[in-house]
Amino acid sequence: FGGQVMDTMDIENFTSVQKTQGPKFAAEMEAHVREYDVDIMNLQRVSKITGANQTENGLVEVELENGAKLESKTVILSTGARWREMNVPGEQEYRTRGVAYCPHCDGPLFKGKRVAVIGGGNSGVEAAIDLAGIVEHVTLVEFDTKLRADQVLQNKLHSLPNTTVIMNALSTEVLGDGSQVTGLKYKDRATDEEHVVELAGIFVQIGLLPNTDFLKDSEVELTNRGEIIVNDRNETNVQGVFAAGDCTTVPYKQIIIATGEGAKASLSAFDYIIRSGQ
């Protein structure tokens, strides 16, 4: 249980919960689930899903990697996503100790401090703009020679007095004192010179990877980014199969949005069962 939530330092934007930590939130959610008559199969991976209109008995079939098969009237895919990582020394060591992936969740922890944002796409520039209103200074580091964000976002970023943009830069190491992040080392791709930026936090914003690899050879329709395509009722293109959360095309990857989407998918699945006479 947990997924990305386990990597979130503090959660302050979940209605009715003023403040909590990611692991604590995940543990409480698991405890809530276990209060109901729900069978939980841990350490299992799905290898194949067959829609209700493709099976003889009209049930959705789920095949596991160990060869076992499950049959159900409906299936809800809520496999989430994982942050794309820099894969540099120090990133894992200082994860949740200065290295963060959710500016909305963890930005307030760095109030009055200096931080960096890795990535010059829309998510990176939006994060830098948001953080500039909280922290002392934001340094945005982009691998390419130009930002890829929409021009209106770039204009806003450049208008902020407490932001710096470094382009054509390769992040090479997260620096720390053993307990917290203290800086970021990067290489100028044009000159090969190495530089260090002193800071307290690093927000990695180079994309999300949906956990949908097991669906690539299935009938479930995915975008070119691997997101499950759903309609406003969380239905996929496969009969009896629904999806919710960060693994789908629904925008704004937030905990509170994912939980709401889970509720929608559950209600849609229930409605499907009633209407299909299953």
Is 242 within 8 Å of 74 (Cβ atoms)? Answer: yes
Instruction: Give the single-character DSSP code of 244.
Output: -
Task: Please give the chain's pLDDT, 278 residues, in tens.
Answer: 778 887 676 788 888 988 888 889 999 999 999 999 999 999 999 999 999 999 999 999 999 999 999 999 999 999 999 989 999 999 999 999 999 998 988 899 999 999 999 999 998 999 999 999 999 999 999 999 999 999 999 999 999 999 999 999 999 999 999 999 999 999 999 999 999 999 999 999 998 899 999 999 899 999 999 999 999 999 999 999 999 999 999 998 889 999 999 999 999 999 999 998 76
Q: First and final CA of the chain: distance in angstroms?
A: 30
Locate the domains of the chain by residue range: 41-82+209-276, 85-206
Q: Identify each DSSP E strand in the chain by its residue range.
A: 10-11, 20-21, 46-50, 60-64, 69-72, 75-77, 81-83, 99-100, 114-118, 137-141, 163-166, 169-176, 181-188, 194-198, 201-204, 208-210, 241-243
CA-to-CA distance for 172 and 184, rounded, in angstroms? Answer: 8
Measured CA to CA in angstroms, residue 48 lies from 55, 115, 161, 267, 272 at distances of 13, 43, 52, 24, 22
CA-to-CA distance for 209 and 227, rounded, in angstroms? Answer: 8
In CATH terms, 41-82+209-276 corresponds, of 3.50.50.60, 3.20.20.10, 3.40.440.10, 3.40.50.12780, to: 3.50.50.60
Hey, how many other C-beta atoms are within 10 angstroms of the C-beta on 150?
A: 13
Is 9 within 8 Å of 105 (Cβ atoms)? Answer: yes
In CATH terms, 85-206 corresponds, of 1.10.3720.10, 3.50.50.60, 3.90.1170.50, 3.90.930.12, to: 3.50.50.60
41-82+209-276 and 85-206 have identical folds: yes
What predicted TM-score, i.e. pTM, was given to this entire model? 0.75
